[in-house]
Amino acid sequence: MKRTNLFLFTLAVTALSILSSCGGEEAPTGPKYNFERAESLPDGYLAELGIIKTNIEVTAKLYETMNNNGFSFSESAMLSAGKSFSGSSKQALGIGAIGSDMVFCSAFGLNQSAMSRMEGLMKTAGSLGIAEAFDQELIEKMASEDTTINKSVLLTKAYLKAKDQLFSDERAQYATFMVVGGWLEGLHIACQMSKSDLSNMGVRLGVWSMCDTYSNVLHMCDVFKDNSEMKAIAEKLNGLSAPIGKIIKNAKKFSTSDVEELGAAVSEIRGSLY
């Protein structure tokens, strides 16, 4: 089977763990889980991953558009920098979520805020056995004080560099938890940032694009429906169908109240996951 953009969605997630090697210390190595074999996944699963990967890029662009158009950065829209997660599935969900937070910080040029979220998650990434998957040179650039470097571009490159390692290690199941965590966090931030202002067409289309990948996320969860935790999360996500449907069906006409309604539903699910 072709190696595609599988797992590039690990978001900045991974940038977290890699910083552990920037100081010369060896990243912790955790247990090797018995992940589902990537080769056994339905062909459609890989197609969904390609769409999710594109959505990550769209999300970063949305945040940049917000920054360029005078939107104020919201620290409260993110999880706290010291947030901890218990249990493997919640760790994977959390890694994806904090990765989304890092993309948000980076898009607004707040590199210190992004880096402050790495410390607590380095150990989390290590415990899931993914710390070694990322390119150290890219991470060192991410951690540098060089303001001429586009950190968002570096994050994207880090995902691409990591994909082969993550594919070969067959970590599809936990990577899917990461996708869900990252997508939900990104949607949460987008809603909180735009629920009172949709006047910019780039912001409007960015929010719509994030909602448009909802079905892809559900399809990926369905691959692992035999996992009780994944099934429970999918059931929670099904509750977003109505508010997301309002936005998807009216790309140019959905209102701030529609975004506020979706944001409230997303916040409720987000609060129940961690």
- Give pLDDT tens digits for 29-40: 333 333 344 455
4 confidence band (pLDDT: 50, 70, 90): very low
**pLDDT given for residue 16 in this prediction:** 32
63 confidence band (pLDDT: 50, 70, 90): very high
pLDDT tens for 132-172 read: 655 556 656 665 666 676 665 665 566 555 544 554 444 67
Whole-number Å distance between alpha carbons of 96 and 273? 12
**pLDDT given for residue 133 in this prediction:** 58
Specify which of 59-68, 77-86, 150-159 reaches the highest per-range mean pLDDT: 59-68
pTM score, two decimals?
0.79
**pLDDT given for residue 115 in this prediction:** 75
pLDDT above 90: residue 184: yes
**pLDDT given for residue 86 in this prediction:** 83
- Asked if 185 and 271 count as a contact pair (C-beta separation under 8 A), the reply is no
On the 0-12 / 13-18 / 19+ scale of CB atoms within 10 A, 77 is middle
Mean pLDDT over all residues of the chain? 76
Q: Tokens 């979520």 belong to which residue? A: 97
Whole-number Å distance between alpha carbons of 249 and 258? 12
**pLDDT given for residue 235 in this prediction:** 97
**pLDDT given for residue 153 in this prediction:** 65
pLDDT above 90: residue 116: no
Whole-number Å distance between alpha carbons of 168 and 225? 23
pLDDT above 70: residue 192: yes
Whole-number Å distance between alpha carbons of 127 and 20? 13
HEC string of the chain equals: CCCCCCCHHHCCHHHHHHHHHCCCCCCCCCCCCCCCCHHHCCHHHHHHHHHHHHHHHHHHHHHHHHHHCCCCCCHHHCCCCCCCCCCHHHHHHHHHHHHHHHHHHHHCCCHHHHHHCHHHHHHHHHHCCCHHHCCHHHHHHHHCCCCCCCHHHHHHHHHHHHHHHHHHCCCHHHHHHHHHHHHHHHHHHHHHHHCCCCCCHHHHHHHHHHHHCHHHHHHHHHHCCCCHHHHHHHHHHHCCHHHHHHHHCCCCCCCHHHHHHHHHHHHHHHHHHC
Residue 250 vs residue 27, higher pLDDT:
250
